[in-house]
A and B are shown apart, each in its own frame.
Chain A
């Protein structure tokens, strides 16, 4: 516990002490019943504006301190937009809160009970009531229009040439699959899942053979990326706080999200002044004991680095002999860099070219 904690505890204790003192004072001075009632009423009336000042004071004092702990600026374009909309809305609602609270918490002081005064008999007033029905309606209509257009943009279809990846949540981690050199995801089925085949990929679908399963997510900066999301056991939710993105992972119902990263990890390290900075992925749908621990790293690269990384990644079937054994021998030749172990001697050792066109040409 450091200074700030102690300070905040002290504030709280102080408020309590004031309350207690006020209470004591009134108890002592209010020896006579009627008058003590009156004093009680005065004190309560007085405490409302005090509360107003102290609580708003605390909030305004703490706002800039809290801001230091907020996430860094949004790292994708829609995130920048929603952040802006968020703060605009915050200013609007804060204004409403401040104004209504000034009224709500000073009226008790101004209109506290006074003997002989009669309250105003004011049961209704159509102009006022219509006014404050329409005013919020107009403000809300504006916010709805604003929100609707951004929402439509965020959830619109991903651009044709997005870089795609598949992310699968399970208790209590994530696995990520890239479509490999052919750019195509092969099919999967949950009953295929077994040791060595966590995604349940179909072994008779050769689009699967070049897919790769890295330990980190890599994304190219400035290009649209699409996450195809699924879950294997219970609900999870993909949360990318730095990109202000979130989408549930649902067993049996694939979902997706897409965005365009604005800064590479290296750039973000500079911008935040934190050489340890990493984009992170978290789970935000309770999924059991390890829910809080499903961290995954996201790396945003320059397009060149991304390409290099992508191309140097090796197929999930590499060194995955148990699975390869189950693949129809006819199809095994579509596995990148595949060298049939038993027949190594008979065949000429061919360097399998690394671009996909040559892989296809092997077929002929």
Chain B
């Protein structure tokens, strides 16, 4: 044991370690069909990053159309083929396909699987003190279901009729009736199959996370000593397990309507010169089912980011997170409320206005716990001793976009105001800041922060700074102006605005947004380079580079399968004892018993000390 720990400290000994383990597991079992949560986490991470590049690229193509509508796009023909029309423009159908796939990929593949999949897998066992997930096998299946789902979605990009194109919310009848648009044919079938597999993957992952957190915490790791990351992953998994099955049922019923002649969502349809047989269904029913997942989904992508941020801000402020209990309370509040606000996406579908009023009330209530979280982050910074690691920068950035994107939810949640703004660029601005940017910032913060634990090396900090500042400036320049367009009524998912006098404005702004988007997207490659370069060539990390309290930093630099060599450490305190008065250092890891910190123990701690000793 001592030997292993010793070698692990030195970066150049990495090889020996690999050799040792090769005897136990073949390459395939170790890196491909691995059951080690750390490897699975990395698999999710790399796959998620690849999807982020794809999803981002799609948005660059449609930003070309929006920002530079007169540009000659013939140069894209080698890649896009027939999707470029004979007059060198993007085809209108392909525009919708791009928007749809961009949304689907970003929401599900990048910010659900990429973010939650990576960090839940990687951090849960490490931070609660477990050897691995409750079921390594299910965990492996979870990744591979996700992988196959991605393969199907990827294939759908290349079929002749194009991928699903009716928006990421795939409302029927558009998505159900194949004649309605080419993307509703094979592309939609592949979308549904891919999503069904994706949901299975999420459920396998979620059940595992919940079970692991409940059952496998190390000695002393009570719920009120869990890092906020774990609380966030825990609640996220609960939301997912309760809401994803509803999306699955919606998808199944849609499959029935599409392929087996049922009429769950269809009625009174006349298209292409003939009436369809379907009668009695309701397209609105689909929307209820969809948003019953759809709204919780936004918290599925957001909560992990908030958890990660809590951890990073506290560590790098050298201060306890302010209001630990309130943070947990507000996350529980958000989790609960997230299930009963879904119809705020449906204020103008013709549903009963009184129902609209109720959903307005519930929606605006959810702003309270969100506000509490924002205030607590800011207070954590106050009187801290702030160290600006790239992870810290992205965490502060997250708080900023979370606030500026979240406040417009108060407008959209007000049914009377949503009438004008629904399905305009105001909504696009809102959710790109509060969900897109905030979660993405959390994702990046997490990668920078836990990279040393994942790969035993450091990422270059300078490149991290440049990446952060370009991204922070960039997302505001891209998404903030969209509010202006939204106020002016610009509908979303429009190929061009020149048809209308009312919307024939903001041409300069559109161009500006597009250019800002290209630059911001470009800046992500700084990260990409930094990431892959540092995996191989980065400065070797020390075992606790951020001087953090949580358990993962007590493992060897390159933890093997099982994480700790020898016994799993016992936990004695909460994870946020930073700069505790009377303590020598400005942090006290969770594994340090109160009996060793007599100088800094408070009265309350003294009681805990008694407990500690009686055991």
Q: Which residues of A pack against B, CB within 8 Å? A: 1-2, 4-5, 8-9, 12, 15-16, 19-20, 23, 26-27, 40-41, 43-45, 47-48, 51, 55, 59, 62, 66, 69-71, 79, 82, 85-86, 89-90, 93, 96-97, 100-101, 103-105, 107-108, 111-114, 117-125, 128-129, 132-133, 136-137, 140, 143-144, 147-148, 150-152, 154-156, 170-171, 190-191, 193, 200, 229, 232-235, 237, 239, 241-242, 244-248, 250-253, 255-256, 276-278, 280, 282-293, 295
Contacts and interface: CB of A to CB of B under 8 A. Distances in A.
B266 to A, nearest CB: 8
A123 B320 contact: yes
Contact of B404 (A97, A278, A292): A97
A-B residue pairs, 4 tightest by C-beta: A252-B267, A255-B350, A155-B353, A120-B383
Interface string B290-333: 00000000000000000000000000011111111110000000
A293 B350 contact: no
A286 B166 contact: yes
B488 A70 contact: yes
B356 interface: yes
Interface in B537-594: 576, 578-581, 586
B269 A289 contact: no
Given A108-B388, A148-B357, 9 more contacts: A62-B484, A66-B509, A104-B399, A120-B319, A152-B357, A190-B268, A229-B350, A283-B491, A288-B181
Interface stretch (B117-125, B207-215, B438-446, B492-500): B492-500
A191 B181 CA distance: 22
Contact of B489 (A85, A124, A239): A239
A288 B99 CA distance: 12
Interface in B475-533: 476-477, 480-481, 484, 487-489, 491-497, 499-503, 505-506, 508-509, 511-512, 515-516, 519
B489 A252 contact: no
12 contacts: A9-B515, A12-B473, A12-B477, A105-B396, A112-B388, A118-B586, A124-B325, A133-B371, A147-B416, A151-B357, A151-B414, A152-B357
A292 B417 contact: no
A63 B71 CA distance: 28
Contact of A132 (B271, B372, B484, B489): B372
Contacts of B512: 5, 8-9, 12
B375 A132 contact: yes
A148 to B, nearest CB: 5
A204 B416 CA distance: 41
Contacts of A40: 388, 461-462, 465
Interface in B376-408: 376-379, 381-388, 393, 396, 399-400, 403-404, 407-408
B40 interface: no
A144 B344 CA distance: 13
Contact of A111 (B270, B382, B494): B382
Contact of A119 (B410, B411, B586): B586
A143 B410 CA distance: 9
Given A121-B579, A280-B500, A105 B400 contact: yes
B283 A253 contact: yes
Interface of B: 92-93, 96, 166-167, 171, 173-174, 177, 180-181, 266-271, 275, 279, 281-284, 317-326, 348-350, 353, 356-357, 360-361, 364-365, 367-368, 371-372, 374-379, 381-388, 393, 396, 399-400, 403-404, 407-408, 410-411, 414-417, 419-420, 422-424, 461-462, 465-466, 469-470, 472-473, 476-477, 480-481, 484, 487-489, 491-497, 499-503, 505-506, 508-509, 511-512, 515-516, 519, 576, 578-581, 586
Contacts of A12: 473, 477, 512, 515-516, 519
| Among A9, A152, A286, A287, residue most surrounded by chain B Cβ atoms (within 10 Å) | A286
Contacts, number: 370
A113 B386 contact: yes
Nearest to B67: A5
A218 B319 CA distance: 66
A83 to B, nearest CB: 8
B13 to A, nearest CB: 23
B310 to A, nearest CB: 13
A62 B192 CA distance: 43
Nearest to A233: B271
A175 B171 CA distance: 23
Contact of B423 (A45, A128, A285): A285
Contacts of A96: 403, 407
A241 B502 contact: yes
B411 A93 contact: yes
Nearest to B349: A248
Nearest to B353: A155
B387 A41 contact: yes
A114 to B, nearest CB: 7
Given A44-B388, A119-B383, A190-B275, A97 B501 contact: no
B351 to A, nearest CB: 9
A23 B465 contact: yes
A253 B385 contact: no
Nearest to B463: A23
A101 B375 CA distance: 11
A129 B373 CA distance: 10
A282 B491 contact: yes
Contacts of A148: 357, 360-361
Nearest to A9: B515
| Among B266, B268, B500, B586, residue most surrounded by chain A Cβ atoms (within 10 Å) | B268
Contact of B320 (A2, A121, A156, A292): A121
B386 A108 contact: yes
A187 to B, nearest CB: 13
| Among B350, B404, B476, residue most surrounded by chain A Cβ atoms (within 10 Å) | B350
Contacts of B411: 86, 89-90, 93
A119 B326 contact: no
Nearest to A50: B469
B180 A288 contact: yes
A126 to B, nearest CB: 9
Nearest to A104: B378
A119 B348 contact: no
Given A119-B586, A144-B364, A285-B423, A86 B417 contact: yes
Contact of A122 (B379, B399, B404): B379
A292 B62 CA distance: 14
B317 A41 contact: no
A248 B350 contact: yes
A137 B368 contact: yes
| Among B372, B411, B469, residue most surrounded by chain A Cβ atoms (within 10 Å) | B469
A51 B491 contact: no
Nearest to A278: B501
A40 B324 CA distance: 30
A111 B365 contact: no
B420 to A, nearest CB: 4
Contacts of A105: 396, 400
Given A108-B381, A190-B270, A250 B502 contact: no
Contacts of A89: 410-411, 414, 417
A134 B397 CA distance: 26
Contacts of B415: 147, 151
Contacts of A288: 93, 96, 166, 174, 180-181
| Among B93, B167, B386, B579, residue most surrounded by chain A Cβ atoms (within 10 Å) | B386
Given A23-B466, A69-B484, A280-B500, A251 B384 contact: no
A69 B320 CA distance: 47
B283 A251 contact: yes
Nearest to A295: B499
A292 B490 CA distance: 10
A275 to B, nearest CB: 12
A8 B282 CA distance: 47
A195 to B, nearest CB: 9
A119 B385 contact: yes
Contact of B417 (A129, A147, A290): A147
